[in-house]
């Protein structure tokens, strides 16, 4: 049977790596460092996947450009305090990526991280060679704008109907919809199964590695 997709695009945080708790912690540290109210857990999770600029604006409406810059810097310092490595990838993710590559799929990453942040993460997990293309929020439009996916498809030469987006946030699901790309939600990260299902993914999986059971 001919497979349906050729290009699989993964979000990073909460999809491939178990980092959501640390991101929430880092957002709270940034708020405290800048004298702003401590964000609720649900609110902090709700901005994960956006660019840092968009996330800070959503968490703290009305902040000035200077306050936003201070928040971003404080967040980056807090996040960098923890050394991430391969052991922070979700169980089975590395084998899954290797298997997908072996089956001939092209793999990509579309993330709300900065380019520097993603490069550090790829280096720390030694996974950079697995992905043909990566896009970050500070070099293109933030999710849920479709530009990340459109650029990835343009660079790889695959059409929307041959592309599949995998993500843990509603921003991933919205981006896929805006790009007319099918999506699979994974309820192991920022948003709940119920929240993801509101955006009509093909499937909503408990873990990312279950993708191997539903690919055709």
Catalytic sites, residue numbers: 11, 13
Distance CA 91, CA 19 (A): 13
- CA distances to 43, 87, 88 from 17, rounded to whole Å, are 20, 9, 6
Cβ(20)–Cβ(69) under 8 Å?
A: no
N-terminal to C-terminal alpha carbon distance within the chain: 8
Cβ(75)–Cβ(34) under 8 Å?
A: no
Distance CA 62, CA 114 (A): 23
Dihedral sign (CA 6, 10, 15, 17): positive
Cβ(212)–Cβ(200) under 8 Å?
A: no
Distance CA 45, CA 176 (A): 19
């Amino acid at each position: 049977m001919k497979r349906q997709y050729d290009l699989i695009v993964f979000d990073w945080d909460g999809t491939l790596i178990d980092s959501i708790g640390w991101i929430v912690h880092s957002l709270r540290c940034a708020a405290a460092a800048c004298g702003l109210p401590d964000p609720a857990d649900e609110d902090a999770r709700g901005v994960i996947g956006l660019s840092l600029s968009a996330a800070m604006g959503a968490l703290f409406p009305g902040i000035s450009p200077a306050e936003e810059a201070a928040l971003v810097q404080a967040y980056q310092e807090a996040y960098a305090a923890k050394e991430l490595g391969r052991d922070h990838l979700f169980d089975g993710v590395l084998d899954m990526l290797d298997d997908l590559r072996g089956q001939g799929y092209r793999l990509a990453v579309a993330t709300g991280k900065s380019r520097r942040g993603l490069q550090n993460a790829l280096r720390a997990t030694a996974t950079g060679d697995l992905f043909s293309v990566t896009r970050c929020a500070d070099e293109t439009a933030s999710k849920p704008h479709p530009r990340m996916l459109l650029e990835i498809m343009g660079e790889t030469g695959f059409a929307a109907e041959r592309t599949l987006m995998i993500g843990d946030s509603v921003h991933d699901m919205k981006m896929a919809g805006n790009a007319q790309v099918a999506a699979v939600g994974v309820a192991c990260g920022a948003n709940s199964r119920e929240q993801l299902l509101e955006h009509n993914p093909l499937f909503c999986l408990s873990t990312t590695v279950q993708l191997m059971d539903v690919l055709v």
